[in-house]
């Protein structure tokens, strides 16, 4: 039930965030005018806000950036991970200033407006982060009105009525069509190059559950010839391409919901002994196909500084992460071993089959944005197909 009373809208407030529990945060709206409802999460990266906003894994989510200076380098045509931003909106500490970067082609606030995404500035984002850490990732509504005319009771009811990400299949909403992928390396001033794969390059079919473009680029960089298929591809469609290996991409939503149609395909590919490599959502569905379970996390992992320990040699990788669900390591079957763990909370970050050529990691080894410690995984996968 909505609260009977709400705070008065402060003078100059043109944006507001209303949580499902009735918590209200005012600020200055920018970007598109309107409302957006979804799950509120926080992201700790200091760079790469354009890549983050366009990561399909953020579908259904509002991003609270912990770094105070977001938008100060503007936007450009290269630093995108999808054709459009999938994050619903963003919350930042400082007002977006005029861009100061030679690559800028459009200020961040104008870019948000053009893509129908809402921004909120003037917010204590660290305090909001603490709230998420204490109470978990809440459902929320983000609203922007230049006149500051907000119906807080209606916004609160909207936040309360949103069903949440648990049980929600979002991969089907963000997946792309079947296509060959040729983009590879990037050069300053020239952008991304079309990399013609060698005729004898291993053919990788990538199932797109909401993949970032840089994931496909890294497969090409590692030496693969890549064909992308949509999330709903059947095992017959995959087999028809005669792949040397299959890649399971990242993506948004609940892996168990997407797994309703994707897990049977993955199980069939495991039975065919096709080499498999999954990341993030793909990693989780690979675990589901093995018989393990996944669960919703309290606050999730989203940032570019997450330490992950490799269990076989003790090496620690600094990784980029974006996930709100995790594999329950206690449900892994005997033929699947844990290979990586988070040093933040001990959650599962990697698995490998002992009787199949299949492995997965919870993080994003393509690092856009983020560190490049984990590119070796693409090389390991592609070289293992020869």
Q: Is 280 a catalytic residue?
A: yes
Closest CA to 136 of 30, 258, 19, 31: 19
Q: How far apart are CA 41 and CA 53, in angstroms?
A: 13
Annotated catalytic residue: which of 41, 90, 213, 280? Answer: 280
- The neighbour count for residue 252, using CB atoms within 10 Å, is 29
Closest CA to 377 of 247, 284, 288, 285: 247
Helix axes 213-221, 376-383, angle to 10 degrees: 60
Annotated catalytic residue: which of 43, 213, 323, 364? Answer: 364
Q: Is 39 a catalytic residue?
A: no
Peptide bond before residue 369 is cis, with ω within 30 degrees of 0: yes
Residue 161: DSSP 8-state: H
β-sheet bridge partners, residue 340: 310, 350
Q: How far apart are CA 139 and CA 60, in angstroms?
A: 10
DSSP reduced 3-state for 273: coil
Q: Is 364 a catalytic residue?
A: yes
Q: How far apart are CA 46 and CA 42, in angstroms?
A: 12
DSSP reduced 3-state for 166: coil
Annotated catalytic residue: which of 39, 81, 317, 366? Answer: 366
Q: How far apart are CA 138 and CA 135, in angstroms?
A: 8
Active site residues per annotation:
280, 364, 366
């Amino acid at each position: 039930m909505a609260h009977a009373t709400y705070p008065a809208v402060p003078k100059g407030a043109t944006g507001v965030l209303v949580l499902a529990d009735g918590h209200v945060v005012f600020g200055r709206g920018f970007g598109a005018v309107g409302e957006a409802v979804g799950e509120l999460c926080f992201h700790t990266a200091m760079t790469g806000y354009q890549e983050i906003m366009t990561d399909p894994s953020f579908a259904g989510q509002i991003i609270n950036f912990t770094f105070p200076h977001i938008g100060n380098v503007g936007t450009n045509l290269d630093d995108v991970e999808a054709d459009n931003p999938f994050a619903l909106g963003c919350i930042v500490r400082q007002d977006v200033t005029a861009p100061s970067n030679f690559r800028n082609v459009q200020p961040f606030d104008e870019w948000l407006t053009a893509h129908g995404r809402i921004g909120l500035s003037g917010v204590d984002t660290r305090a909001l982060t603490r709230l998420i850490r204490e109470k978990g990732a809440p459902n929320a509504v983000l609203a922007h009105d230049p006149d500051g005319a907000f119906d807080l009771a209606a916004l609160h009811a909207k936040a309360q009525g949103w069903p949440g990400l648990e049980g929600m299949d979002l991969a089907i909403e963000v997946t792309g069509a079947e296509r060959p992928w040729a983009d590879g390396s990037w050069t300053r001033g020239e952008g991304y190059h079309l990399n013609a794969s060698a005729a004898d390059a291993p053919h990788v079919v990538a199932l797109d559950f909401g993949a970032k473009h840089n994931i496909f680029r890294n497969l090409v960089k590692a030496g693969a010839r890549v064909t992308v298929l949509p999330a709903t591809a059947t095992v017959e469609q995959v087999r028809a391409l005669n792949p040397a290996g299959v890649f399971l991409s990242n993506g948004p939503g609940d892996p168990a919901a997407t797994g309703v149609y994707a897990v049977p395909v993955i199980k069939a590919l495991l039975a065919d002994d096709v080499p498999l490599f999954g990341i993030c959502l793909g990693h989780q569905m690979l675990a589901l196909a093995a018989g393990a379970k996944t669960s919703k996390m309290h606050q999730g992992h989203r940032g570019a500084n997450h330490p992950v320990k490799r269990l076989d040699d003790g090496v620690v990788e600094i990784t980029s992460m974006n996930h709100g669900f995790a594999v329950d390591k206690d449900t892994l079957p005997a033929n699947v071993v844990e290979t990586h763990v988070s040093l933040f909370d001990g959650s599962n970050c990697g698995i490998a089959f002992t009787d199949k050529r299949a492995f997965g990691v919870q993080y994003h080894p393509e690092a856009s944005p983020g560190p490049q410690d984990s590119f070796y995984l693409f090389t390991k996968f592609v070289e293992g197909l020869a």
